Amino acid sequence: MGGGSAVKQHERRFLQGEREDTGKKKECGEAYWSVKTFGEYEVRETKGGEYGLFKKGNLVGMFVKATVEEERILFPLSRGFMLEVSRRGVREITIPEKALLMGMVAADGSNRSRREPRRRGGYRTDYLTAFYSDDLELIRMFDESANRVYNLASHHYVRKRNGLITAAIYSKGIYYDLSDLNLKPGPYEFHAPREHLDDEGKRAFLKGFFSGDGNVSVSGGEITIRFYSRCREGLEELRQTLMDLGFHPRGIREDREPKGKSTYSFLIPRSEHIKFINEIGSYRPKHVRIFEEMKRRGEGREE
Amino acid sequence: MKKGRCGADCGKCPYFRKLCIGCVIETCLVDKCIKGTSYTGITHPRSFCRLRPYCPIGGKDRPPPIPIPPLAGRKMAKVGFPRFVPEIDVADERSWFWRDGFQASAVFAPLWQLLTNEKILAHASSKGLHDYLGFDGKILLSTVMPDELIDRLETKDYFRLINDLKPDATMIPDNYTYTDAPLYQSWSQNIRLVSLANDFLKLDTPLIGLVKGANLRQMDWALRKQVEMGYASFAMPARELFEEERLDEFLPYVLISLKRSYRVREDFELLLYGVGQKLRNYKDISYSSLSWFLRAKHGEYYWDGLFYDLRDPVIRFEECYCEACGGMMPQDIIDLWFEDKERAMKTLAAHNLLDLSRLKRRKRR
Ligand SMILES: [Zn+2]
Ligand SMILES: [Zn+2]
């Protein structure tokens, strides 16, 4: 398959190929020992403190850093990914900051591209990844995670009419990264990439999503916590994600709107409100205020 | 005495001392590594360096040179590429557009998808690709695949697969030729390509040669060897060069090289593989890619060979009278997306396919 540059190919296929300053060399050594074995996978460490991942004796990946835990080994990759090696095999998971960013974009963002002819011949492609909110705190969270994961800053635009802020990043790398995860496959659609999230990532994704398209309402002393969206499939995946974490969300409800379009939603049962607040929560200041009040009351009741 | 940039002794190179300019590549990864810059996954961490055999201080010997076999020859007819040859996903039936009544005279089926999916491979091998896919047109087998798979397959494996799958034509086996790796590696790979192209002459299946190489000399050399053997249809895997915006560095010379080798232009044909867009500067070249389908999955719409987000105001309210749309505009596809996602996606995919297959430019109203 390889044509063009080996470095670019590695970036595209393995999220590797980053430059490392390794100093001038007169010779090159290669001693190593085994760190851990999971089934057909083996992790070896070298004299220089580097790691190699072997499958049935063949080198499949190499890394400069590793976090060795009891049940798994994590290798940092670029663009906010980690390679998780465990008894279940190997998978790419995202760091929590990236999961948060994805949750926010899934709820209130977009990820798109377009290719256009240039006036003087040739073509150019524009790539846009954006998050929309009228809440400065959420825009700040989006910027912070984008900076942490991709090392990129966003441009802000404010719509005068309603104060809606757009935080926009123009980057081919981010566009393809999120497209490959199938995060926003079509207009008004999203997916929860559960296979790329560990428990911490799942919580961060849900928190990001809930901050955008979550709803906390108080009426007559009754509080409801509700996820809503136009995308039924994505919403079902959010329910699954919550179930993975031990929640028992209620079934999806459809609210028909004129012109045949529908909004879907589901509720978190009241018995799990405190669990939700403690484990997931929200960054939206309006949610946070109510949650804090509920926690005070909830804890008071337990005493 | 000739020394490569990285310090390797090019004077002792068993390959083409005249054809090869020696390793003077500015971007040579071995050279960079020795001077202090390495790349994770390729030359770093150093104990797992993939280019160690090509490194003068790496402490491993170069693999022995591959001998160039005496070349046989056979008169070959062109495969007959249409302007656009859609690639399909053999594992995703939604890309099997003929089931929805759309036509194409040929498709590319990628071999690597079969190799990484044992169930589908077993199924397709037992009855052949035609029966497996239920497609009446020509099925062209694409051998373009990841490097790890390339290294695993020998001639006899290809022969067995091709005999089982029974495609109407097959590419010769793919290789890897990186512009920033030592030339010894890319020359070895290109000689392997020619050697396998020679083996493939024994097959009854019509053949598609490959245009590959880390530089123009290599491309030209491999191409001329294939012409000598009688190849008349060629595919140039160009996804990487296209994305790196370097296609213009190579393509005009490939065309010159081909034109020099044949008496008449009509004697050969060239297809760009992996480029999901029409290149207006190059006439009479065919294309193939899966992007008509991949982009549809992402809600992207082709118009005159360029792609747009469905919501893009440039095309959003432009009616399309192709067989798939029948007067619908992108906004109608968005609306349909809410009612019946599968149908909307398939309509969009079929529209993309038809747009890429169009020969004439559209008229803007
Ligand atoms: Zn070199
Ligand atoms: Zn159409």
Touching B: A residues 175-234, CB under 8 Å? 179, 182, 185-189, 230, 233
The sign of the torsion formed by the CA atoms of A205, A206, A209, A212 equals: negative
* pLDDT tens, residue by residue, B268-302: 999 999 988 877 778 789 999 999 999 998 889 99
Domain boundary pick from B289, B308, B340: B289
Average pLDDT over residues B241-268: 86
User: Which H, E and C letters describe chain B, residue by residue?
Assistant: CCECCCCCEHHHCCCCCCCCCCCCCCCCHHHHHHHCEEEECCCECHHHCCCHHHCCCCCCCCCCCCCCCCCCCCCCCCCCCCCEEEECCCCCHHHCHHHHCCCCCEEEEEHHHHHCCHHHHHHHHHHHHHHHHCCCCEEEEECCCCHHHHHHCCHHHHHHHHHHHCCCEEECCCCCCCCCCCHHHHHHHHHHHHHHHHHHHHCCCCEEEECCCCCHHHHHHHHHHHHHHCCCEEEEECHHHHHCCCHHHHHHHHHHHHHHHCCCHHHCEEEEECCCCCCCCCCCCEEEECHHHHHHHCCEEEECCEEEECCCCCCCCCCCCCCCCCCCCHHHHHHHHHHCHHHHHHHHHHHHHHHHHCCCCCCCC
Kindly list the residues from chain A whose CB atom is less than 8 angstroms away from the CB atom of residue B144: 1
Q: A64 and B338: CB-CB below 8 Å? A: no
Q: In degrees rounded to 5, what are phi and psi of residue A125? A: -115, 135
Which helix (H) or strand (E) segment holds residue A107: the answer is helix A96-108
N-term to C-term CA, chain A = 65
The sign of the torsion formed by the CA atoms of A235, A249, A244, A292 equals: positive
Instruction: Collect all residues with Cβ–Cβ distance below 8 Å to B18 and sequence separation of at least 6.
Output: none
Judgement on whether residues A182 and A244 belong to the same structural domain of the protein: yes
> Token pair of A129, please?
């990844």
Touching A: B residues 72-101, CB under 8 Å? none
Report the DSSP beta bridge partners of residue A214. A227
Residue A86 lies inside a defined structural domain of this protein: yes
> Token pair of A142, please?
């989006």
Residue B75 lies inside a defined structural domain of this protein: no
Judgement on whether residues A79 and A225 belong to the same structural domain of the protein: no
- The C-alpha angle B56, B59, B60, rounded to 5 degrees, equals 90
Residue A14 lies inside a defined structural domain of this protein: no
Judgement on whether residues A221 and A110 belong to the same structural domain of the protein: yes
Judgement on whether residues A159 and A231 belong to the same structural domain of the protein: yes
Touching A: B residues 123-152, CB under 8 Å? 144-147, 150
Average pLDDT over residues B113-132: 93
Q: Which tops the pLDDT comparison, A91 or B8? A: A91
Distances (CA, A) of A25 to A7, A8, A62, A146, B35: 20, 24, 20, 36, 7
Determine the structural domain holding residue A62 and report its residue range.
Answer: 30-94
CATH number at residue B265: 3.20.20.105
Q: For all residues of chain A together, what is the average pLDDT? A: 88
Residue B171 lies inside a defined structural domain of this protein: yes
What is the domain count for chain A? 2
Domain boundary pick from A94, A112, A139: A94
Q: A186 and B345: CB-CB below 8 Å? A: yes
Chain B: closest CA distance from residue A6 (Å): 5
Judgement on whether residues B285 and B310 belong to the same structural domain of the protein: no
Q: What does the pLDDT read at residue A178? A: 93
Q: Are B141 and B164 in contact, with CB atoms under 8 Å apart?
A: no
Cα separation, B117 vs B99, whole angstroms: 22
Judgement on whether residues B46 and B93 belong to the same structural domain of the protein: no
- The answer to whether the bond into B45 is cis (omega within 30° of 0) is yes
Q: How confident is the model at residue A19 (pLDDT cuts 50, 70, 90)?
A: confident
What type of residue is A234? G
Judgement on whether residues A88 and A105 belong to the same structural domain of the protein: no
Judgement on whether residues B272 and B340 belong to the same structural domain of the protein: no
Report the DSSP beta bridge partners of residue A156. A167
Q: How many CB atoms lie within 10 A of CB B199?
A: 18
Q: What does the pLDDT read at residue B363? A: 66
Q: Which ligand is located closest to the Cα atom of residue B333?
A: 2
Question: Angle, nearest 10°, between helix axes A96-108 and A136-150?
Answer: 130
Q: What does the pLDDT read at residue A50? A: 80
Judgement on whether residues B139 and B244 belong to the same structural domain of the protein: yes
What is the domain count for chain B? 3
Residue A18 lies inside a defined structural domain of this protein: no
Q: Which tops the pLDDT comparison, A189 or B46? A: A189
A-interface mutation test, from B42, B47, B348, most A Cβ less than 10 A away: B47
Average pLDDT over residues A31-52: 81
Q: For all residues of chain B together, what is the average pLDDT? A: 90
> Token pair of B247, please?
């296609």
Checking B358-361 for CB contacts under 8 A at 24+ apart, the result is: B358/B304, B358/B305, B359/B83, B361/B304
Which helix (H) or strand (E) segment holds residue A238: the answer is helix A232-244
Is the pLDDT reported for residue A98 higher than 60? yes
Question: Comparing C-alpha atoms, which of A139, A143, A159 is closest to residue A97?
Answer: A143
Is the pLDDT reported for residue A257 higher than 50? yes
Judgement on whether residues A107 and A146 belong to the same structural domain of the protein: yes
Residue B140 lies inside a defined structural domain of this protein: yes
Q: Is A291 helix (H, G, I), strand (E, B) or coil?
A: helix
Q: How confident is the model at residue A295 (pLDDT cuts 50, 70, 90)?
A: confident
Q: What does the pLDDT read at residue B322? A: 93
Residue A24 lies inside a defined structural domain of this protein: no
Judgement on whether residues A49 and A155 belong to the same structural domain of the protein: no
Q: What does the pLDDT read at residue A30? A: 62
Residue B47 lies inside a defined structural domain of this protein: yes
Judgement on whether residues B93 and B149 belong to the same structural domain of the protein: yes
What type of residue is A249? P
Average pLDDT over residues A277-300: 87
Average pLDDT over residues A2-19: 80
Percent over 90 (pLDDT), chain A: 52
Q: What does the pLDDT read at residue A51? A: 86
Domain boundary pick from A65, A94, A123: A94
Domain boundary pick from A94, A124, A150: A94
- The C-alpha angle B306, B308, B313, rounded to 5 degrees, equals 125
Residue B364 lies inside a defined structural domain of this protein: no
Determine the structural domain holding residue B23 and report its residue range.
Answer: 1-63
Judgement on whether residues A192 and A104 belong to the same structural domain of the protein: yes
Q: How confident is the model at residue A57 (pLDDT cuts 50, 70, 90)?
A: confident
N-term to C-term CA, chain B = 67
Residue B74 lies inside a defined structural domain of this protein: no
Render A185-218 in DSSP notation, one character per residue. Answer: -STT-----GGG--HHHHHHHHHHHHHHHEEEEE
Judgement on whether residues B145 and B285 belong to the same structural domain of the protein: yes
Residue A139 lies inside a defined structural domain of this protein: yes
Q: Tell me, yes or no, if A256 comes closer than 8 A to chain B by beta carbon.
A: no
In the DSSP assignment, the letter for residue A79 is T
Q: What does the pLDDT read at residue A303? A: 39
Judgement on whether residues A161 and A292 belong to the same structural domain of the protein: yes
> Token pair of A104, please?
């926010």
Q: How confident is the model at residue A31 (pLDDT cuts 50, 70, 90)?
A: low
Judgement on whether residues A124 and A175 belong to the same structural domain of the protein: yes
Burial per residue of A221-253, b for 16 or more beta-carbon CB atoms within 10 angstroms, e otherwise: eebebbbbbbbbebbbbbbebbeeeebebeebe
Is the pLDDT reported for residue A27 higher than 80? no
Residue A166 lies inside a defined structural domain of this protein: yes
Residue B229 lies inside a defined structural domain of this protein: yes
CATH number at residue A52: 2.40.10
Please give the distance, rounded to the nearest whole angstrom, from the Cα atom of residue B66 to the centre of ligand 1: 19
Judgement on whether residues B129 and B198 belong to the same structural domain of the protein: yes
Percent over 90 (pLDDT), chain B: 59
Is the pLDDT reported for residue A153 higher than 50? yes
Q: Tell me, yes or no, if A29 comes closer than 8 A to chain B by beta carbon.
A: yes
Report the DSSP beta bridge partners of residue B87. B108
Touching B: A residues 56-75, CB under 8 Å? 59, 61-64
* pLDDT tens, residue by residue, B319-365: 999 999 999 999 999 999 888 888 999 999 999 999 998 877 776 55
Is the pLDDT reported for residue A63 higher than 90? no
Cα separation, B332 vs A280, whole angstroms: 38
Percent over 70 (pLDDT), chain B: 98
Judgement on whether residues B6 and B26 belong to the same structural domain of the protein: yes
Residue A12 lies inside a defined structural domain of this protein: no
Cα separation, B112 vs B273, whole angstroms: 15
Judgement on whether residues A49 and A134 belong to the same structural domain of the protein: no
Judgement on whether residues B129 and B1 belong to the same structural domain of the protein: no
The sign of the torsion formed by the CA atoms of A267, A269, A273, A275 equals: negative
Q: Are B205 and B167 in contact, with CB atoms under 8 Å apart?
A: yes
CATH number at residue A220: 3.10.28.10
> Token pair of A110, please?
């977009």
Residue B70 lies inside a defined structural domain of this protein: no
Judgement on whether residues A50 and A181 belong to the same structural domain of the protein: no
Q: Tell me, yes or no, if B27 comes closer than 8 A to chain A by beta carbon.
A: yes
Q: B57 and A26: CB-CB below 8 Å? A: yes
Judgement on whether residues B112 and B52 belong to the same structural domain of the protein: no
Per DSSP bridges, beta strands A214-219 and A222-229 are: antiparallel
Cα separation, B42 vs A62, whole angstroms: 9
The rounded Cα B338 to chain-centroid distance in angstroms is 36
| Chain B, nearest residue to A46 by Cα | B47
Checking A124-129 for CB contacts under 8 A at 24+ apart, the result is: A125/A172, A126/A170, A127/A170, A127/A171, A127/A172, A127/A174, A127/A175, A128/A168, A128/A169, A128/A170, A128/A175, A129/A105, A129/A168, A129/A169, A129/A171, A129/A174, A129/A175, A129/A178
Residue A127 lies inside a defined structural domain of this protein: yes
Look up the ipTM and state it. 0.84
Q: Tell me, yes or no, if B34 comes closer than 8 A to chain A by beta carbon.
A: yes
Chain B: closest CA distance from residue A165 (Å): 20
Average pLDDT over residues A9-14: 79
Instruction: Collect all residues with Cβ–Cβ distance below 8 Å to A105 and sequence separation of at least 6.
Output: A111, A129, A131, A178, A183, A184
Judgement on whether residues B145 and B107 belong to the same structural domain of the protein: yes
Judgement on whether residues B127 and B271 belong to the same structural domain of the protein: yes
